[in-house]
């Protein structure tokens, strides 16, 4: 990539002196940084962007503004300290964090000091910025040298135990900037991410596309919460074979910003060839899909299709406040049916019936008391879907 140098402070000052009136804005300081970050001190925290060509750390207590893409290059590590907040410039599809194959993101927050990515807008909106995109070397059925839907990263390989770092106790808000109808960012996008990568305790809210999506790979994730996601809460494709444990997705009462076909879970393997190896074979345990908004129905609680062979254990599909689902489980698709084994699972409210194309093994039991109200607060029955207490660190409260 050609290095783009910024004007020096002297040049900026000189140019402003020519033909300027007293009404002209005051000159802005210029740091002199370029788009290649080659050392810890080689970037401006208030204009954070560029190619990360060295191991660098974003430190808690420093104000950061992500203004364009921040790309961690192969062999390098971006570390983000617990308690760090990164504001992201609103309104641009080029504002995102991307981690190349062979690079690492070490974002280890804590329950007391989470790491936060959010919009810099006074009133943030879904799609204000892109999101977090991580590429790895694990397998995908999209080919050994596939390219990400956004950010232009290569992904895939044969190293199923690849390690792309750590993402824990992290909040991402107002993501999902849209490039076109086929290219949209998710809150967190994981492309062929391997099993030695540690991903847990994520809070993804107000996203304009999917909450979290897996494109192949073997990474296991735990304690993921998605709130007010415009499209699918939890999505996978491309031969994903990991485990998702304790996943909680909710659309709040009054939420009306939805795509034409939003789902709680959308599971694909390969729409061009549903037999392509590896076939998506994820295991999902302790999952809650909850719709509280009567304005927008979920198309399905879970849509398992296009060659996917999935297992779900202990799920709760619930609609409350007059909300609804179109279908409970859908395994029927013109590009290939899906296969689902479901055990120890429950439903409540108007959540539709199964649409069977492929095989559905197991039943979903009615439980009219899975969710109860005390005043305006909602409570979840223990043992029904996700353990909501695991998300106490987010400060989020369930309301009617």
380 and 258 in a common domain: yes
- CB-based contacts of 191, cutoff 8 Å, min separation 6: 133, 134, 135, 136, 140, 146, 148, 153, 155, 156, 215, 216, 217
Residue 159 has pLDDT above 50, yes or no: yes
Residue 301 lies in a domain: yes
User: For 292-320, what is the mean pLDDT?
Assistant: 97
Percentage of the chain exceeding pLDDT 90: 87
Q: How far is it, in rounded angstroms, from Cα 45 to Cα 48?
A: 5
54 and 148 in a common domain: yes
The per-residue pLDDT for 32 is 63
Query: Which pair of tokens denotes residue 308?
Result: 């996917």
**pLDDT band of 272, cuts 50, 70, 90:** very high
Among the three residues 219, 254, 281, which one is the final residue of a domain in this structure?
219
Q: What is the pLDDT of residues 191-242, one digit of tens each?
A: 999 999 999 999 999 999 999 999 999 999 999 999 999 999 999 999 999 9
The three-class DSSP label of residue 392 is: helix
User: For 2-31, what is the mean pLDDT?
Assistant: 38
94 and 207 in a common domain: yes
Among the three residues 188, 219, 250, which one is the final residue of a domain in this structure?
219
Residue 245 lies in a domain: yes
Among the three residues 219, 251, 275, which one is the final residue of a domain in this structure?
219
340 and 236 in a common domain: yes
Residue in the block written with tokens 């009462």: 253
The parent domain of residue 305 ranges over 232-400
215 and 245 in a common domain: no
The per-residue pLDDT for 180 is 79
Residue in the block written with tokens 């590896």: 278
249 and 380 in a common domain: yes
Residue 249 lies in a domain: yes
**pLDDT band of 129, cuts 50, 70, 90:** very high
Residue 163 lies in a domain: yes
Question: 19 preceded by cis ω (within 30°)?
Answer: no
Burial annotation 106-135 (CB, 10 A radius, 16+ → b, else e): bbbbeeeebbbbbbbeeebebbbbbbbbbb
Residue 20 has pLDDT above 70, yes or no: no
Residue 374 lies in a domain: yes
User: For 152-173, what is the mean pLDDT?
Assistant: 98
Average pLDDT of the chain is 92
What are the backbone angles phi and psi of residue 363, rounded to the nearest 5°? -125, 165
Please give the helix or strand (H or E) that residue 14 lies within, else none: helix 9-17
Residue 16 lies in a domain: no
Residue 2 has pLDDT above 60, yes or no: no
- 225 alpha-carbon distance from chain centroid: 10
User: For 49-66, what is the mean pLDDT?
Assistant: 98
The per-residue pLDDT for 91 is 87
237 and 208 in a common domain: no
User: Of the ranges 9-23, 102-116, 185-199, which one carries the lowest mean pLDDT score?
Assistant: 9-23
275 and 236 in a common domain: yes
247 and 211 in a common domain: no
Q: How far is it, in rounded angstroms, from Cα 140 to Cα 102?
A: 16
236 and 191 in a common domain: no
Give the total number of structural domains in the chain. Answer: 2
158 and 255 in a common domain: no
The per-residue pLDDT for 280 is 98
Q: How far is it, in rounded angstroms, from Cα 368 to Cα 346?
A: 9
180 and 324 in a common domain: no
User: Of the ranges 82-96, 143-157, 170-184, 257-271, which one carries the lowest mean pLDDT score?
Assistant: 170-184
User: For 104-127, what is the mean pLDDT?
Assistant: 98
Helices and strands, counts by H and E, the chain? 1, 33
Residue 1 lies in a domain: no
pTM listed for this prediction: 0.92
Please give the helix or strand (H or E) that residue 85 lies within, else none: strand 85-88
> What are the residues facing 56 on neighbouring strands?
78
Residue 99 lies in a domain: yes
**pLDDT band of 17, cuts 50, 70, 90:** very low
């Amino acid at each position: 990539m050609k290095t783009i140098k910024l004007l020096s402070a002297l040049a900026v000052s000189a140019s402003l002196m020519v033909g300027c009136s007293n009404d002209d804005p005051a000159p802005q300081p210029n740091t002199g940084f370029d788009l290649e970050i080659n050392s810890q001190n080689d970037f401006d925290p208030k204009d954070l962007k560029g190619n990360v060509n060295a191991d660098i750390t974003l430190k808690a207590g420093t104000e950061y503004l992500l203004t364009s893409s921040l790309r961690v290059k192969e062999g390098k590590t971006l570390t983000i300290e617990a308690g760090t907040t990164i504001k992201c410039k609103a309104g641009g599809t080029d504002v995102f964090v991307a981690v190349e194959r062979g690079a690492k993101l070490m974002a280890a927050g804590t329950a007391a000091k989470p790491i936060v990515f959010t919009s810099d807008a006074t009133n943030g909106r879904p799609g204000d910025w892109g999101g977090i995109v991580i590429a790895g070397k694990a397998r995908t059925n999209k080919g050994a040298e596939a390219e990400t839907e956004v950010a232009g990263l290569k992904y895939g390989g044969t190293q199923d135990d690849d390690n792309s770092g750590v993402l824990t106790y992290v909040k991402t808000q107002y993501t999902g900037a849209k490039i076109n109808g086929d290219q949209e960012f998710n809150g967190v996008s994981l492309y062929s991410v391997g099993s030695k990568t540690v991903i847990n305790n994520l809070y993804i809210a107000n996203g304009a596309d999917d909450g979290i999506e897996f494109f192949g790979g073997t990474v296991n994730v735990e304690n993921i919460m998605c709130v007010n996601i415009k499209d699918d809460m939890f999505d996978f494709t491309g031969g994903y074979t990991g485990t998702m444990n304790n996943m909680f997705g909710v659309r709040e009462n009054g939420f009306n910003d939805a795509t034409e076909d939003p789902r709680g879970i959308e599971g694909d393997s390969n729409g061009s060839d549903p037999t392509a190896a590896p076939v998506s074979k994820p295991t999902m345990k302790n999952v809650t899909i909850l719709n509280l908004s009567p304005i927008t129905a979920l198309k399905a609680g879970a849509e398992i299709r296009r060659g996917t062979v999935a297992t779900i254990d202990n799920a709760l599909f619930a609609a409350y406040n007059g909300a609804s689902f179109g279908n409970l489980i859908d395994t029927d698709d013109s590009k290939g049916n899906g296969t689902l084994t479901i055990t120890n699972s429950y439903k409540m409210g108007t959540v539709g019936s199964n649409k069977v194309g492929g095989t559905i093994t197991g039943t979903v039991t009615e439980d009219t008391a899975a969710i109860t109200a005390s005043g305006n607060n909602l409570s979840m029955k223990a043992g029904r879907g996700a353990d909501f207490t695991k998300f106490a660190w987010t400060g989020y409260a369930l309301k009617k």
